[in-house]
């Protein structure tokens, strides 16, 4: 695998292509928008949102589902993409609250700004930056959310430390992500599988241990969905499929040997989870 900076560049290029593509990323085959509509979002929360927001959602869950975000809160979204979760959080926090989206990809920030303008939201701020080095003040946010992004970081311990740093005492983290168990070595070392959200993912226990090591408490996985062979096929093929001239990690398709082998060997080892934690204090 490449060094950390090269991995980040590769991931950024992946999502730059994805937002321009007719197909999705990170686990969702065609068409784009299937992610938002099948990832646990209440249809009422999607109603009225700009279509580009839903179409360009590449998450694996709904980090705001059943959350206790309330009016006046400050919410920080790590890897905010085209802005779906930003807009939902915007409604929850209201005019007295504030929502901050962090993304490292210019095309995603541009798409998010477009969607925010279309929605007429005035309490959302976009900042370009890395989730390993957040452009956010210490102890300044009530909630950290994220949707299938932390698995892509090559330095997850830094991400966990940053979450602990920016949360106010008593603040909460609630993220949707992918975790994996017992990945074959060939998957770990396969650069093209990294941007499928698989090769860079860690186990559920490693995730919990990392958050606890960063000083967070109440760390737990609320629920999980184990991917079967067909779901892993979609996950891999949506990244590696169809794009010799423009797919996310492109060049091969759903019948490719990598896709077939990965689906067979990874069935039951990949899970979509919701992870929560709190920062100690009042």
Domains for the chain: give ranges and CATH numbers.
Answer: 4-181+196-226+272-278 (3.40.50.150)
For residue range 100-130, list pLDDT tens digits in order.
999 999 999 999 999 999 999 999 999 999 9
Q: How confident is the model at residue 16 (pLDDT cuts 50, 70, 90)?
A: low
Strand partners, 153: none
pLDDT confidence of residue 187:
87
For residue range 170-229, list pLDDT tens digits in order.
999 999 999 999 888 888 887 777 777 888 899 999 999 999 999 999 999 988 889 888
Q: Taking the model in full, what pTM does it have?
A: 0.82
Average pLDDT (46-55) is 57
Task: Report the 10 Å Cβ neighbour count for 190.
Answer: 18
Cβ contact 178:56 at 8 Å: no
17-27 burial, b for 16+ CB within 10 Å, e for fewer?
A: bbbebebbbbb
Average pLDDT (24-46) is 46
């Amino acid at each position: 695998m490449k060094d950390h900076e090269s991995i980040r560049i590769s991931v950024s290029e992946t999502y730059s292509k994805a937002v321009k593509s007719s197909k999705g990323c990170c686990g969702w085959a065609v068409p784009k928008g299937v992610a938002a509509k099948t990832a646990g979002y209440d249809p009422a929360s999607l109603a009225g949102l700009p279509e580009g927001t839903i179409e360009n959602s590449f998450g694996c869950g709904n980090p705001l589902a059943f959350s206790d975000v309330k009016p006046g809160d400050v919410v920080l979204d790590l890897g905010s993409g085209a802005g779906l979760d930003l807009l939902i959080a915007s409604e929850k926090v209201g005019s007295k609250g504030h929502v901050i989206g962090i993304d490292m990809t210019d095309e995603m920030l541009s798409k998010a700004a477009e969607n925010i303008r279309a929605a007429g939201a005035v309490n959302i701020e976009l900042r370009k930056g890395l989730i390993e080095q957040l452009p956010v003040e210490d102890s300044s946010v009530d909630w950290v959310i994220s949707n299938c992004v932390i698995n892509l970081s090559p330095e997850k311990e830094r991400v966990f430390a940053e979450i602990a740093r920016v949360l106010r005492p008593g603040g909460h983290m609630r993220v949707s992500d992918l975790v994996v168990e017992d990945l074959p070595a060939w998957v770990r070392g396969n650069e093209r599988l990294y941007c499928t959200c698989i090769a860079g993912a860690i186990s559920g226990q490693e995730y919990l241990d990392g958050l606890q090591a960063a000083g967070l408490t109440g760390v737990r996985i609320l629920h999980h969905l184990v991917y079967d062979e067909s779901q892993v096929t979609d996950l891999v093929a949506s990244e590696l499929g169809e794009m010799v001239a423009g797919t996310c990690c492109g060049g091969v398709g759903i019948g490719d040997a990598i896709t077939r082998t990965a689906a067979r060997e990874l069935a039951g080892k990949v899970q979509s989870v919701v992870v929560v934690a709190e920062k100690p204090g009042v």
